[in-house]
Structure 1
Amino acid sequence: MRIGALVPLTPPGWVEAGRQLLAGLELAVREVNAAGGVGGRPLELLVRDTAADPGRAEAAVEELAGLGVAALAGEYHSVVARAVAGRADALGLPFLCSSAVLDALTDRPSTWVARIAPAQSHGWRRYADFLLDAGHRRIAVAADPSTYWAAGTEILRERVAPRGGAVLALDARARTPADLCDALAAHRATALLLLVGHPEPAVPIVRAVRHDPRLPGLLLGAPAGQPELPSWARLLGEDGAGIPFLRYLPERPTPLGARVEASLRERLGGPPSFVAFEGYDTVAVLAELLRLHGPERARIAAGWGDVAVEGTRGLIGFSHAPGIGVRQWVWPPVQIADRDPADPDRIRVLRTG
């Protein structure tokens, strides 16, 4: 039984995130097959690199559909996942999105698409509350031009405005890191959120802000989770600590989560990110759907609401969330965390729920 896997494995995609996602997908397939497969048949993962390119991803969907996959899994970048979801919907091919969070994953409601990751608005509203509770009202964002970053900026604005806050959007592509520091000092911002790619331009922006004498108390934040990537600590060291980010893990690991974490750590040569757990959970859900309904695509798509699967982060089931056009796990656990300034290799949890 074939599953198509879409992951960013080359630039300009976030390669580290893609490798984490693929590690989770592959580990779950290996464990399913070690336990006898699905109805005695092994799972086969057909992997395609999207490189964060929507057109390339759409071509991969067409190819995988022709190769007879029962369903699609994966993708990290929201803009690419939208392209995958649209093509999968048009072809009648089930797609379980692992990591992309953009609320509008499809242009219209789709029975063919479901999602493990939470909607962007779910996590980012909690992040905005975290900033407000810490006293931040003058919040700046350094943003790359993207549908995903623009959506995040609007979520933040809508959340902070009723409590007297304001969000200043700064184009990270049109300004040098020094220019951004000038704007932050002029506007007396107390927080800067990095809505940008990693390592460029995130790393030089962090360095510039950390070493600007005018900005000693400025909070840096990265709601999209860049600081969890291993290269963040390697490239930035102490400068990369104390930067809150979102991740989707429970306060305490489940027994399954603890076992999978150990296997992923060995596979990756270091601690896995939440993205690897999303990959594992995606295959766990698709394997259960294949057990229940076989490889017939229409039956799989009709069965999203039937599954209740013990995943690495809790019981996974799918329902309709208001404003979301696909079946959705409502909701994965949410944490706000950072790298400990006393030990940048250690991640500390600042808030859960």
Structure 2
Amino acid sequence: MNTPPDPHGPNGSHGASPADGPSVRIGALVPLTRPGWAAAGRHLLAGLDLAAREVNEAGGIAGRPVELVVRDTAADPGRAEAAVDELAGLGVAALAGEYHSVVARAAAARAEALGLPFLCSSAVLDALTDGPADRVARLAPAQSHGWRVYADFLLGAGHSRIAVAADPSVYWASGTGILRDRITARGGTLVELDLRTLTPEGVCEELAADGATALLLLAGHPDPAVPIVRAVRRDRRLAGILIGAPAGQPELADWATLLGEDGAGVPFLRYLPERLGPLGARVGTALRERLGEEPSFVAFEGYDTVAVLAELLRSHGADRARTAEAWPQVAVEGTRGPVRFSRVPGIGVWQWAWAPVQVADRDPADPGRFRVLHSG
């Protein structure tokens, strides 16, 4: 069955049980309304909530139930900062969540300044903080790791001249730089198309004139990504071009709903193993029942986030300073493999290095089915 609607709306509490004692509160930052990618937020919250309920069914943390205090970031960095301040004032033991990298970066900076532990679930931007951070850790692989895997896939598939249609943002600019460095180092060429000035039809004109064999969408979903895919698919001059979306837009069901067959055959990054173990398979079944659709990697990230924080709080207590010092000591069997945190060169936060990385797409013969094209 689907998760019932929250009676408190997008900001509310989840996961508490009638166990004795005051709850251990965890603040959850999730994009649940536009302009945030609400579908990703829904999957993230489903994973967070499922893990919290399972922790409580197993006795909670020292007999105290976990309570998720949810705040909708709506992809707004300022709103996320305000939520961190509010949640800190409410006495949460830690923060969890967030999908959008630029929003997570704002939340991480504020959490570090307040001394509030924050386990970031999904955001991949390498520079999640400006410098070394003691209170912030991350489950998702850094962008430089995953996007290099994606570049290697493109080059291995024979694409040496690649166009990037990019929106202006720190995240998209970072991704463009990672791809350019990897592709040009191996003899390829990266051509940049500026979506501030180009319509979907203008993108088609540029591609037809340039001769690139692949177009990567580094752009928001649904706009302008969906109109660009439609325009390219309908342009006979571009019949052989590969459309790619490394940020993972095709993973979620709304991509297939909006684009149908046009959305198939678009390779994207996702952070799942080729085969889930017993825990991942069990959680996947539970998430599928809650969501009413196939759970994305984002839902698994949500589950693993609460599982890690629960173990951290059980082992080291709910004192914020002690929790922050415990990141390198935590070891948890997550849905996608054993989770441990370390310092990675060039990454300022405690990092799981690494979650499994796949390049996948929706099968053109059956857009509801995913194909794994490459693993790294």
Q: Please give the range of the TM-score, normalised by the shorter of the 2 chains.
A: over 0.9
Kindly indicate whether residue 284 of structure 2 is the aligned counterpart of residue 297 of structure 1.
Answer: no
Equivalent residue of 2:209, what SS?
helix
Q: Which runs of 5+ in 1 are unaligned?
A: none
- Establish whether residue 114 from structure 1 lines up as the match of residue 137 from structure 2: yes
Matches of residues 12-51 of structure 1 in structure 2 within 5 Å?
Answer: 12-51=35-74
- Decide which of 109, 119, 139 is 1:96's aligned counterpart: 119
Residue deviations 1:116-158 (CA, integer Å, cap 9, x gap): 0000010000000000111111111111111000000000000
Counterpart in the other structure of 1:230: 253
Give 1:172's aligned residue.
Answer: 195
Amino acid of the residue matched to residue 244 of structure 1?
A: P
Q: CA deviation at 1:173?
A: 3.1
Structure 1 CA distance for aligned equivalents of residues 74 and 234 of structure 2: 33
Map 1:212-251 → 2, pairs under 5 A: 212-251=235-274
Q: Which amino acid aligns with 2:309?
A: L
Match of 2:230 among 178, 185, 207: 207
- Unaligned 5+ segments in structure 2 are 1-23
1:1-353 pair list within 5 angstroms? 1-353=24-376
Q: Any idea what the Cα deviations from partners look like across 1:152-186, whole Å, max 9, x if unmatched?
A: 00000000112111111112232110000000111
CA distance, structure 1, for counterparts of residue 281 and residue 186 of structure 2: 39
Percent identity among equivalent residues? 76
Between stretches 173-182 and 44-53, larger displacement belongs to 173-182
Q: Distance in 2 between matches of 1:348 and 1:317?
A: 29
Which residue number corresponds to residue 21 of structure 2? none
Instruction: Output one character per residue of 1:169-222: Cα deviation in whole Å (capped at 9) or x when no partner.
Output: 112232110000000111111100011111111111000001101111100000
After TM superposition, give the deviation of residue 51 of structure 1 in Å: 0.3
Number of aligned pairs? 353
Distance 1:138 1:81 in 2: 33
Alignment-mate amino acid for residue 37 of structure 2: W
For the residues of structure 1 that align with 2:75 and 2:155, how far apart are their CA atoms? 33
* Structure 2 Cα separation of the partners of residues 198 and 79 of structure 1: 15
Which SS does the other structure have where 1:41 is aligned? coil
Letter in 2 for 1:143: A
SS of corresponding position for 1:319: coil
State the AA in 1 paired with 2:272: L
Rounded Cα–Cα distance in structure 2 between residues aligned with 1:95 and 1:148: 20
The list of structure 1 runs, each at least 4 consecutive aligned residues, that deviate by more than 6 angstroms after superposition, is none
Counterpart Cα distance in 1 of 2:207 and 2:132:
40
- Give the letter aligned to residue 304 of structure 1: W
Q: Give, in whole Å, the separation in 2 of the partners of 1:199 and 1:345.
A: 18
Q: Structure 1: how far apart are the matches of 2:315 and 2:254? A: 40
- Distance in 2, Cα, partners of 1:267 & 1:61: 27
Letter in 1 for 2:162: I
Shift of 1:21: 0.3
Post-superposition CA distance 1:210-268 (Å, at most 9, x none)? 11011111000000000011011111111111000000001110100000000000000
- Find the aligned partners of 1:227 and 1:107 in 2 and give their Cα distance: 30
Q: For the residues of structure 2 that align with 1:317 and 1:250, how far apart are their CA atoms?
A: 17
RMSD: 0.6
Deviation, structure 1 residue 332: 0.4
Q: Deviations over 1:297-326 (max 9, x none)?
A: 010010000011000000000001111011
